[in-house]
Structure 1
Amino acid sequence: MREPAWRQEGDEPDYRFSLANERTFLAWVRTALALLAGGVVLEQFSAHIGPHVVVVILAVALGVLSAVLSVIAYVRWRANEIAMRHGRRLPSTVAIPLLSAIVLAVAAVIAVLLALP
Structure 2
Amino acid sequence: MPTDPQHADHKRPDRARWPRRVYGVGADPDPRFSMANERTFLAWLRTGLALMAGGVGIRALLPVGPLERALAVGLLVLGVLSAVGAFVRWAATERAIRLGRALPPLRMAAVFGVGLAVAGVGAVVLVLR
Q: Under a length normalisation based on structure 2, what TM-score does the superposition of the two structures give?
A: 0.82
Q: Higher mean Cα deviation, 83-92 or 3-12?
A: 3-12
Residue matched to 1:55 = 68
Distance 2:106 2:40 in 1: 14
What amino acid is aligned across from residue 97 of structure 1 in structure 2? A
Residue matched to 1:16 = 32
SS of residue in 2 equivalent to 1:69: helix
Are 1:77 and 2:90 counterparts? yes
SS of residue in 1 equivalent to 2:60: helix
What amino acid is aligned across from residue 77 of structure 2 in structure 1? V
Q: Deviations over 1:19-45 (max 9, x none)?
A: 000000000000000101110111012
Distance 1:64 1:96 in 2: 15
Matched residues, percent identical?
41
SS of residue in 2 equivalent to 1:11: coil
What aligned pairs does 1:84-99 form with structure 2 within 5 A after superposition?
84-99=97-112
Q: How many residues align?
A: 112
Q: CA RMSD in A?
A: 1.2
Distance 2:74 2:106 in 1: 21
The structure in which a higher percent of residues are helix is 1
Higher relative contact order (CA 8 A, sep 6+): 1
Displacement of 1:62 in angstroms is 1.0
Residue segments in structure 1 that go unaligned for 5+ positions in a row: none
The correspondence for 1:25, drawn from 16, 38, 41, is 41
Residue segments in structure 2 that go unaligned for 5+ positions in a row: 1-15
Distance 2:99 2:125 in 1: 48
Displacement of 1:53 in angstroms is 1.4
* Higher CA-based Rg: 2
What amino acid is aligned across from residue 85 of structure 2 in structure 1? I
Distance 2:114 2:66 in 1: 22
